Amino acid sequence: MHCENLRPQWIVLLGMLWAAGTPATPKIEGPPRSLTEARSIDSPQKSGAAAVSIPDLFYARGSYDAAISPDGRDLVISTNLTGRHNLWSVPLAGGFPVQLTRSDDRQWGTVFSPDGKTVVFGSDHAGAEMFDLYAVPREGGPVVNLTSTEDETESGAVFSRDGRWLAFSQRPKSAASPNIAVMEFGSRHVRVLTDEKFAADAVERGDFLSADGREIIANRADITVPRGRFGALTSQQVRRSPRAA
């Protein structure tokens, strides 16, 4: 079926992950040495230091991925400094961090829009591991849910170079494999570009290949075998998301 009304003409290039028959990497032996005797280790001690309490041993903080603003001024990270993984903006030149989002749910997968005005990220819902994509102004402000799907999870968002399109991975709650979808950022209309039917097939995060946003490159693999497959999907095979109707 030829669909002239679908614009732009998307071509998804599904990249080869592994080559069939790739020989195993030979084992490299390390230099021989004896095992370290634990009782021989002498750790330095600080006089007058108080004993570490058990709760303090479990007081750990971490961070997920980070995104640098297009102008190189700010770094946005997902960190649980306040107990939950929310978004914080840190000036790269130095300065006090600013909390951009506040939520009891985990937030991660940050990406800046090309104009540097917006940060897009994923957020869980009540620990269900079903993520929606959200947008927040770079300087802080109202958080907007871009996808608003209860039965689908979205992640791995990436902008086209002109900022018009947002590509991401989308998986229905009842499905075993994700697909690649694109959103027209202004209208929030979504098109799903792939249609995986088997649990063994996985199409992961895509990225825009061409400057005009008409081509996307993505990784596709059969997870049951140690090899990849190469294929192409044209716009004649694109199916619409119900939200784009």
pLDDT at 122: 93
pLDDT at 119: 97
pLDDT at 87: 95
Q: Which tokens hold the place of 28? A: 């490299």
* Residue 131 and residue 118 in one domain: yes
pLDDT at 245: 31
Q: Is there a domain that residue 93 lies in?
A: yes
Question: What's the domain count of the chain?
Answer: 2
pLDDT at 228: 45
Q: Is there a domain that residue 23 lies in?
A: no
Domain boundary residue, one of 124, 146, 168: 146
Q: Is there a domain that residue 52 lies in?
A: no
Expressed as residue numbers, the domain containing 138 is: 62-146
Prediction pTM value: 0.68
Q: Is there a domain that residue 104 lies in?
A: yes
* Residue 114 and residue 168 in one domain: no
Domain boundary residue, one of 94, 112, 146: 146
* Residue 158 and residue 228 in one domain: yes
Q: Is there a domain that residue 45 lies in?
A: no
pLDDT at 5: 38
The Cα-based distances of 182 to 3, 7, 153 in angstroms read 17, 12, 14
Low-confidence ranges of the chain (pLDDT < 70): 1-28, 30, 198-210, 219-245
pLDDT at 21: 43
* Residue 156 and residue 243 in one domain: yes
pLDDT at 204: 57
